Amino acid sequence: MRSMHDAKLLADSISKSYSRPGEKNFLKVLDDIRFHIRESEFVSILGPSGCGKSTLLNILAGFETADCGDVACCGEPVKGPSPERAVVFQSPVLFPWLDVKDNILYGLKLKKEDRKESEDLASVYIKAVALDGFEEYFPSQLSGGMQQRAALARALVLRPKVLLMDEPFASLDAQTRYSMQQLLLSLHGKYRHTMVFITHDVEEALLMSDRICIMSKRPGRIVEEIDVPFERPRSLSLTSTQEFSILKTKIIASLMG
Amino acid sequence: MSERNWNTDIIGFILPALIFITWYLVTLEGKVPGYLIPSPVNLVRVAVDFATGYANLTPYGGTLPAHALASVQRVALGFGLAAAFGLPLGFLTGRINLAKSSLDPTVHLIRIIPGIGWLPIAMVWFGVGETTTLFLVALAAFFPIYVNAAQGASSVSPLLIRAGRMLGASRLTLFTTVIIPAAMPSTVAGLRLGLGISWAYLVLGELTGVTYGLGAVMMDARMLGHVEMILVPMIFIGLLGRVSDMLLVGSFKRLDMFREESKQ
């Protein structure tokens, strides 16, 4: 049985509305969102643009507060942003005045961990995202894909309880996106992070996740949860199998409502 | 490409060269009396004498170091005061609404009054000379430093702030590790403006009566009829202003370099 206690991340009846300038009624963005995510699970939140999935991620991260409902991480209520719930944004959002290594060390320095250990840990993750040799580069000297890999390492190095990703590959070109998906798949295989992955891309959700929560158009509600049956490790060739196409068609139908 | 740059460089020198040649010719022919415009040759000789005192061409021979030192000290102190107040207050008003709404309107109200307008009341309060000069420099340099620091701090991308917070930065560390570095380009621009204005107000203050200082030399020379010694301090003020600006920009570059080196 799934219980509240083995949930790594729990969202309980979250609702959120925004007031619109010049209008009396509120714009309801999220309506009674509930889900829970287990240890090491990779869950995608899939929805059309404007369905409030980024708002949902902001609430999970603690950047915004829900009007009602609760978010809990490992049984603790979420009160604000924390390295326990590290975020990879749609754009890299690296600190432009720090080089790759210092960007990745930033969170560890704040944790006041041992310098030597931090450096070692940083170089492990720099290698994991294949940025070794680029430690001294500044973000502006890197391509978009490399910047996003640095952002990924910056989050992973903190060993978060949950990694929150907000359409992290949406602004990359197709080829870079494929290689980033590959990379994330292998990282998840290696470190088994608990992941919440926001996307509007059905194929991406199917390829990456253990489970997909499908959101409706505004106000966003979770209309269906789909367990993804494919074995891991997965690779891009999965996307050309028949089972994949069947599931994809089913999800698209569900998205169209 | 390089050839084109070379051409535009040359074009930039044409006008100054023409002015210099005209200046040389009119003073050579004696069309303009030397007590209005001294000849360039004479000016250079007086300037060298001012710096070294090799021939005591004027009563000011060899006194440049003392006067320059007095002026530089006043600028350093006045500018330092302006930065000491302008930077923290600017960063605070840029980020904290309470600070902005309580401080900003007053600062901008005072800013409307031209700095020169403070001269008479400053002379009443602080007397003629030293303190008045410091007050004018500090007051005038404060505004660009404050305004640009505030502008820089308030326009830090909200995403950078979110990134800092989710990586574990508290309110205070967010200030020192994200907001201030992100606000640096605008802040340095403000400091440079402030430093330039410091030199302008230094001269104003020194004209009103101090014993030492490049501005004082100009005023004194005017009364004694040494026209060269009005112009020569102007040149040195320009040079010192340029050098101080280069030092300011250089020290921020050095800071960046130090940051780059420190991580090895």
Q: What does the pLDDT average to over B131-139?
A: 95
Cα separation, B239 vs B105, in Å, equals 37
Given this model, what pLDDT does residue A58 score? 95
What is the domain-level CATH number for residue B101? 1.10.3720.10
Same-domain check for residues B255 and B170? yes
Hunting for tokens 């250990």 — which residue is that? A117
Given this model, what pLDDT does residue A21 score? 78
Question: Taking the CB of residue B3, how many other CB atoms lie within 10 A of it?
Answer: 6
Beta-carbon contacts of residue B214 (< 8 Å; ≥ 6 apart): B67, B68, B71, B203, B206, B233, B236, B237, B240
- Asked if pLDDT for residue B5 goes beyond 70, the answer is no
Q: What is the mean pLDDT of chain A?
A: 91
Kindly state whether A84 is in contact with chain B, defined as any CB-CB distance less than 8 angstroms. no
Contact A86 B165 (CB under 8 A): no
Would B117 be classed as within a structural domain?
A: yes
Query: Residue B193 belongs to what domain range?
Result: 64-262
- The runs of H, that is alpha helices, within B30-96 are 40-52, 64-95
Question: Taking the CB of residue B209, how many other CB atoms lie within 10 A of it?
Answer: 18
What SS3 string covers A92-158? CCCCCCCCHHHHHHHHHHHCCCCHHHHHHHHHHHHHHCCCCCCCCCCHHHCCHHHHHHHHHHHHHCC
Q: Which of A64, A94, A108, A110 to mutate to test the interface with B (most CBs of B within 10 A)?
A: A110
Same-domain check for residues B19 and B106? no
Would B42 be classed as within a structural domain?
A: no
Kindly state whether A101 is in contact with chain B, defined as any CB-CB distance less than 8 angstroms. yes
Question: DSSP character for A62?
Answer: T
Share of chain B above pLDDT 70, in %: 94
Q: Do the Cβ atoms of B196 and B238 come closer than 8 Å?
A: no
pLDDT (tens digit per residue) in B201-247: 999 999 887 889 999 999 999 999 899 999 999 999 999 999 999 99
Cα separation, B28 vs B38, in Å, equals 10
Q: Tally C-beta pairs within 8 A across A and B.
A: 62
Of residues A233, A143, A132, the one with CA closest to residue A182:
A233
Which tokens hold the place of A52? 């409030």
Would B51 be classed as within a structural domain?
A: no
Strand-pairing partners, residue A88, are A165
Chain A residues 123-152 within an 8 A CB cutoff of chain B: 136
Exposed/middle/buried for residue B31 (C-beta within 10 Å: 0-12, 13-18, 19+): exposed
Kindly state whether B260 is in contact with chain A, defined as any CB-CB distance less than 8 angstroms. yes
Q: Do the Cβ atoms of A180 and A169 come closer than 8 Å?
A: yes
Which tokens hold the place of B167? 């990586």
Q: What does the pLDDT average to over A234-240?
A: 88
Would B99 be classed as within a structural domain?
A: yes
Strand spans (E) along chain B: none
- Asked if pLDDT for residue B261 goes beyond 70, the answer is no
Would B199 be classed as within a structural domain?
A: yes
Same-domain check for residues B91 and B200? yes
For chain B, helix, strand, coil in percent to 5 are 85, 0, 15
Helix (H, G, I), strand (E, B) or coil at B223: helix
- Asked if pLDDT for residue B6 goes beyond 70, the answer is no
Same-domain check for residues B18 and B139? no
Same-domain check for residues B163 and B85? yes
By CA distance, what is B164's nearest residue in A? A107
Same-domain check for residues B12 and B141? no
Given this model, what pLDDT does residue A5 score? 54
Kindly state whether A91 is in contact with chain B, defined as any CB-CB distance less than 8 angstroms. yes
Same-domain check for residues B84 and B22? no
- Asked if pLDDT for residue B262 goes beyond 60, the answer is no
Helices vs. strands in chain A: H and E counts, helices first: 7, 10
Q: Which chain B residues have a beta carbon less than 8 Å from that of A81?
A: 162, 165-166
Would B125 be classed as within a structural domain?
A: yes
Kindly state whether B160 is in contact with chain A, defined as any CB-CB distance less than 8 angstroms. yes
Given this model, what pLDDT does residue B211 score? 87
Given this model, what pLDDT does residue A175 score? 92
Same-domain check for residues B106 and B21? no
Cα separation, A25 vs A30, in Å, equals 15
By CA distance, what is B173's nearest residue in A? A110
pLDDT (tens digit per residue) in A8-65: 899 998 999 988 877 777 888 999 999 989 999 999 999 988 888 999 999 999 999 9
Same-domain check for residues B79 and B194? yes
pLDDT (tens digit per residue) in A74-119: 989 999 999 999 999 999 999 999 999 999 999 999 988 889 999 9
What domain count does chain B have?
2
Same-domain check for residues B18 and B70? no
Q: Do the Cβ atoms of A62 and A79 come closer than 8 Å?
A: yes
- Asked if pLDDT for residue B259 goes beyond 70, the answer is no
Same-domain check for residues B10 and B126? no
Would B153 be classed as within a structural domain?
A: yes
- Residue B53's pLDDT band (cuts 50, 70, 90): confident
The ipTM (two decimal places) reads 0.92
Q: What does the pLDDT average to over B185-210?
A: 93
Same-domain check for residues B84 and B21? no
DSSP B158-174: HHHHHHHHHTT--HHHH
